[in-house]
Amino acid sequence: MEILKVDNLTKIYGKEEAEVVALDHVSFSVEKGEFVAIVGASGSGKSTLLHLIGGVDRPTSGKVYIDGKDIFQFNDDNLAIFRRRQVGLIYQFYNLIPILNVEENITLPLSLDNRKVDPNTIDEMLKLLGLINRRNHLPSELSGGQQQRTSIGRALITNPTIILADEPTRKFGLEV
Amino acid sequence: MKLLNKLTIKNLKLNKKRTIVTIIGIMLSVALITAVAAMYSSGVASLISFEIKEKGNFHVAFFDVPTTDIWKLKNNRDIEEIHLTKNIGYAKLENSKNEYKPYALVKAFTKDSLDNLAIKLVEGRLPENSNEILIPTHLKTNGRITLNVGEKITLDVGTRVNSEGNELSQLDGYVPSDYTSVISDADTNEILYEESGNKSNEQIINTKSMTYEIVGIIERPSSNVENYSAPGYTFVTYLDENNLTGKLDVYTRYTKTAVKNDLKTTANILGVDENDYSRYRDVANPLPEEEFERIDKEVKKSGYTVNENSYLIGLETHPIKSSGVGGLGVTVVIVCIIIVVTSIFCIKNSFDISITEKIKQYGMLRSIGATKRQIKRNVLYEASILGLFGIPLGILSGIFAAYILVIITRQLLTANLTTGMVLEFSVSWIAIAIAVVLGLITIYLSAIRGARKAAKISPIESIRNSGSIKIKAKKIRSPKIINKIFGIGGEISFKNLKRNKKKYRSTVISIVVSVSIFIALYSFMSLAFLTVDEELNMTDYKLMLSIDDKDLYEKAIETTKLDGIKNYTVFRTSSLNIKNVRYNKEYTDKVHVSEDTNDKLHNQVAALGEEQYKKYVKSLGLNYEDVKDKAIIYDKLKITVHDTEKDEVINYQIREFDYKKGDTFDVEFSDKKTASLKVGGIAEELPFGMKNSRYNSLIILSDELFDKFTKTDRLIIYYDTDNASKVQDDIDEMLKDTSYYLENVEENAQMVNNLYVLVGIFLYGFIIVISLIGITNIFNTITTNMELRKQEFAMLKSVGMTKKEFNRMIRLESVFMGVKALVFGIPIGTLLSYLLYYTLASEGIKYPFPILAITISIIAVFLLITCIMKYSMGKINKQNTIETIRNENI
């Protein structure tokens, strides 16, 4: 079953002199359960593509279907809700909230959705990520790898339909 | 608690300093509003208090109410309290020297009425039974009847009726004799108005002989108790509340709700239709005669006469609209608007900063699925927490500040003893509620824009961290000179300011606003004080006594012998017409004189009192014996001519007439007496006390000559002394119990001076608080911007910028910002100050260029910016470079 379909996606940044065509009519699809890696030279538009698929940015033209739904038909609010439930985003730079501890950072998406947090689920997640002893630490007290794992935990906690990771291993080699 | 809210609180705690500064900003703004509201409510309360003390504590008075109706009024739900009086009757006073006031009206007051109807005891005590009586002071000063406390007086008290047998009241004046009164035009002698009347034909019947003991003396009662033309002096005795008979006067106070619709309430009491009565009492829209008659009949059916205390009702129900206070109310509203607008501006900036700092966070939250509404609500949540602390603190400090201000005002205005109004401190709950509401509105409006902006932050913006920098297509060049003087650090600063215009815009505007208002206010105050100086220099006398009663002349003149008086003039003046006047050609060239007549009409003629006349004559180099039967002319007048050609205003001093010593001229005095006067001398100077007469010619005669041809009722004495207040006290003592007017010029000027000081305190206090609010804003802006650029600074250091260069860079930013702000602020402020001068200054005062204010502004601005930047720089310099760079990646 097709879980993701990208159709003629185009993204152009800037105007006139400073204009950059980041994506030029990109199309492809991904099946459920598939693991896809997108590789390319730096500056080739990988992050841009990821952001568009994640609904974090809007394209200049083209469509993205996740689980059959045309995500850019949604208004901003519905897109946000969709995103928090269906998509897990892991970034190049971890984008953790510096004043929340590990546990709080991980449960952030659930909290936004006003969903109750099941303590067992959290414990399991923390064990899986090897962060069980660090649950109350702030990001500035963690190593780069631990921060990235927190970020991954945040992406996974809602059991999303699709997980997008933007060069997640860049920073910390083989730990993962 | 929701994680999002927890986040907000953590953020606030983390940025303690900024949080506190923002709370202080809110607190100041609310405090200012509260203080203004409290001062206003204090002012209104004081006016009401004063009015009640002076005129009586009642809203509507009903006269001639039968005793049987009293219980109805007492139990009326709309009436809060009633004060009863009863007219016992009139008695003829044989010795009254006032023809229009030949009676005593004996009026009985209950104990409660004595306390509530502005009965002010001057001597003795209040009556406790119906055999004791109080007499008013004006019985002696006006009627010339002297009675003392302890004496017994017997009066034949009865009912005063006219020839038809109808009872008369204090509203029916007494006419002592037939009269004809004519008012005619001063120039043409045309008769404008003629009135004639007959002597009152009335008598007092059913008299009963009553003997009273005088137990006290009261001030002349308020006009609500005894109107000015009342024919009877009010004598106050005691009314036993348990023993009421006959008809009473009921002074009522309506309840709070009833007084809001006082006309309707009154209509109900009278048993008249509400709408009819409202229209009947509407002075602005008079009814057609028939309607008026009809309603009037209805009103009269009740049998009561109604007297409304409209001023008090107005004060208590619509203080803002009420006359006299109206202007003040409008001012208060305007001031509040200024405060709210300025505060919104400053506090909004604090929120903007807090949001800018959290762009990354908000973007990230959006990227993991927070809705716009959640972000918006989050910002408002932050606002409400700040408000939770700021508003109550603001209200408390505002009340405290108002209390202090009331005390200061009271101190400064004690010189104003004549009115006896004391400023009392009063805070109405409505005022506080309004302050709270305004505070909430301020915070909400400040936060809402930021909230919307935060919600709009697209996740991508935060990821890319490009948000606040404007991408301009062209490169930003910095002038080479900047690089030359300030080095690479300077170049970076300059570019930073150019690209981040928005961030610093509000800082610059805050400073501009504060500086311009400060300069304008400073000019206003200096202008005000200049005016006071002017006033004090307008007269050469320190005290002025004015007497209209011929019988007091002798006593008045005796006052000139008091200790401490350096010089005096006993001034009497009248007017005369100079027949076939000879003007000075130079004068008529510049000033238009009437072509209807060959005479000069209404020229002032004066006598100075023997002693001053001799002094004056001597000072002019003339011989007393020579001139005592001649006229001395002072006609060197100050005139102002507007030269339309050159468009300028020129002052001249030109002689009005063409007479010289030895000339003769004919005059006609005000009562048609004519004379031929010889000119004894032309004066170069005016006599003492007449300094402000340089605009009108004066003919000075010896007292003897003056009395020969004319007369006047008014005697004026000008005094020069070094100890004005002592002399004033002495004169008061000498002339007590008589009717006179004494003015202390110094005291007046002092009072005006105090008033200006007070205004100054308010204005400067106001501007200082507004500036403080602005400073909190500036502090936030600068410190946050510094923090946001932590990474940038750390990077600069890591590539090798020295501390010195770094500091120079920072200093440059402050210079640029300060200069920009002053470049706008100073001209605007100067312009405002010139506008003030143009509209308010009287002639002769030059524009005081506010150089001092400008200098202060410049110093203050740079001091402020430098301090704040130094503070932030200190923090930055302490940071570890690597950690900063590393931490930015979170």
Contact residues, A window 114-143, toward B, CB-based 8 Å cutoff:
114, 139-140
Tell me the pLDDT band of B253, cut-offs 50, 70 and 90: very high
Question: Are residues B564 and B723 in contact, defined by beta-carbon separation less than 8 angstroms?
Answer: yes
The tens digit of pLDDT for each residue in B545-594 reads 988 878 888 888 888 888 888 889 998 988 888 888 888 888 888 877 77
**CA-to-CA distance for B278 and B812, rounded, in angstroms?**
71
The overall average pLDDT reported for chain B is 81
The helix-helix angle for B803-840 and B501-538 (nearest 10°) equals 40
E strands, B581-673, are 600-607, 631-634, 636-643, 648-655, 664-669
pLDDT of residue B215: 93
pLDDT of residue B186: 63
Min Cα separation A114/chain B (Å): 8
pLDDT of residue A175: 46
Backbone torsions φ then ψ of B867, nearest 5 degrees: -55, -50
The tens digit of pLDDT for each residue in B612-661 reads 899 999 998 888 888 888 999 998 888 877 776 766 677 778 888 888 88
Question: Are residues B833 and B519 in contact, defined by beta-carbon separation less than 8 angstroms?
Answer: yes
Q: How many CB pairs under 8 A join A and B?
A: 92
Whether B10 and A100 lie within 8 Å, measured CB to CB:
yes
- Chain A CB contacts of B889 under 8 Å are 93-94
Backbone torsions φ then ψ of B187, nearest 5 degrees: -90, -45
Strands B60-66 and B305-308, by their bridges, are: antiparallel
Contacts of B851 (CB under 8 A, 6+ apart): none
Q: For the range B125-131, what are the long-range contacts, defined as Cβ-Cβ under 8 Å and sequence gap of 24 or more?
A: B125/B215, B125/B216, B126/B215, B126/B216, B126/B238, B127/B215, B127/B216, B127/B236, B127/B237, B127/B238, B128/B238, B129/B238, B129/B240, B130/B237, B130/B238, B130/B239, B130/B240, B131/B211, B131/B212, B131/B213, B131/B237
- What amino acid occupies position B570? V
HSE-CB of B606 using CA atoms within 13 angstroms: 26
Contacts of B338 (CB under 8 A, 6+ apart): none
- pLDDT above 90 for B752: no
The tens digit of pLDDT for each residue in A33-87 reads 889 888 887 777 888 888 888 877 788 999 999 888 898 888 877 877 887 788 8
Residue in this structure with the two tokens 């004496």, named with its chain if needed: B151
pLDDT of residue B693: 64
- Chain A CB contacts of B10 under 8 Å are 99-100
pLDDT of residue B473: 45
Q: CA torsion angle for B360, B361, B366, B367 (degrees, to 10)?
A: 70
pLDDT of residue B467: 43
Contacts of B769 (CB under 8 A, 6+ apart): B28, B31, B32
- Please give the C-alpha separations between residue B787 and each of B108, B451, B454, B876, in angstroms, as whole numbers: 80, 21, 19, 8
Tell me the pLDDT band of B413, cut-offs 50, 70 and 90: confident
**CA-to-CA distance for B399 and B36, rounded, in angstroms?**
9
- Chain B CB contacts of A15 under 8 Å are 473
Strands B674-682 and B631-634, by their bridges, are: parallel
Q: How many CB atoms lie within 10 A of CB B99?
A: 10
DSSP symbols for B246-264: SEEEEEEEE-HHHHHTHHH
Tell me the mean pLDDT in the region B797-805.
69
Q: CA torsion angle for B590, B593, B598, B603 (degrees, to 10)?
A: -100
| Whether A19 contacts chain B with CB within 8 A | no
Question: Pick from A16, A80, A99: which is nearest to B369 by CB?
Answer: A80
Whether B7 and A100 lie within 8 Å, measured CB to CB:
yes
Eight-state DSSP code of residue B841: P
Min mean pLDDT across A160-164, B406-410, B591-595, B821-825 is at B591-595
The secondary structure element, H or E, covering residue A96 is none
Question: Are residues B680 and B630 in contact, defined by beta-carbon separation less than 8 angstroms?
Answer: yes
Question: Are residues B515 and B822 in contact, defined by beta-carbon separation less than 8 angstroms?
Answer: yes
**CA-to-CA distance for B131 and B108, rounded, in angstroms?**
10
Q: Where are the alpha helices (DSSP H) in B539-666?
A: 553-558, 585-590, 610-619, 624-627
- Chain B CB contacts of A111 under 8 Å are 2-4
- Chain B CB contacts of A57 under 8 Å are 458-460
Both structure tokens of B588: 């008529």
Q: CA torsion angle for B459, B464, B465, B466 (degrees, to 10)?
A: -110
pLDDT of residue B468: 44
Using CA coordinates, name the residue in chain A closest to B472: A18
Contact residues, B window 356-395, toward A, CB-based 8 Å cutoff:
360-361, 364-374
Tell me the mean pLDDT in the region B850-854.
87
- pLDDT above 90 for B393: yes
| Rg of chain B (C-alpha set) | 38
- Chain A CB contacts of B371 under 8 Å are 76-77, 80-81
Residue B431, Cβ density class (10 Å: 0-12 exposed, 13-18 middle, ≥19 buried): buried
Whether B371 and A56 lie within 8 Å, measured CB to CB:
no
C-alpha torsion sign, points B425, B427, B431, B435? positive
Tell me the mean pLDDT in the region B440-453.
84
Tell me the pLDDT band of A171, cut-offs 50, 70 and 90: low
Tell me the pLDDT band of B754, cut-offs 50, 70 and 90: confident
E strands, B93-168, are 103-109, 121-124, 132-136, 152-162
pLDDT of residue A5: 92
pLDDT of residue B104: 92
- pLDDT above 50 for A176: no
**CA-to-CA distance for A106 and B737, rounded, in angstroms?**
92
pLDDT of residue A126: 92
The tens digit of pLDDT for each residue in B164-218 reads 888 888 888 888 888 777 777 766 667 777 777 788 888 888 889 999 999 999 9
Mutate to test the interface with A, among B472, B885, B890 (most CBs of A within 10 A): B890
Whether B369 and A112 lie within 8 Å, measured CB to CB:
yes
The tens digit of pLDDT for each residue in B467-486 reads 444 444 445 566 666 666 66
Tell me the pLDDT band of B840, cut-offs 50, 70 and 90: low
| Rg of chain A (C-alpha set) | 17
The tens digit of pLDDT for each residue in B693-728 reads 677 888 999 999 888 888 888 889 999 988 888 888
**CA-to-CA distance for B271 and B74, rounded, in angstroms?**
16
Both structure tokens of B60: 């509507």
Mutate to test the interface with B, among A20, A48, A78, A108 (most CBs of B within 10 A): A108
**What ipTM did this prediction achieve?**
0.71
**CA-to-CA distance for B755 and B745, rounded, in angstroms?**
15
Tabulate helix, strand, coil % of chain B (nearest 5): 50, 20, 30
Min mean pLDDT across A126-130, B420-424, B471-475, B496-500 is at B471-475
The tens digit of pLDDT for each residue in B364-376 reads 888 778 888 888 8
Question: Are residues B262 and B59 in contact, defined by beta-carbon separation less than 8 angstroms?
Answer: yes
Among residues B9, B8, B16, the alpha carbon closest in space to that of B362 is found at B8
**CA-to-CA distance for B343 and B337, rounded, in angstroms?**
10
Whether A80 and B463 lie within 8 Å, measured CB to CB:
no
Tabulate helix, strand, coil % of chain A (nearest 5): 35, 25, 40
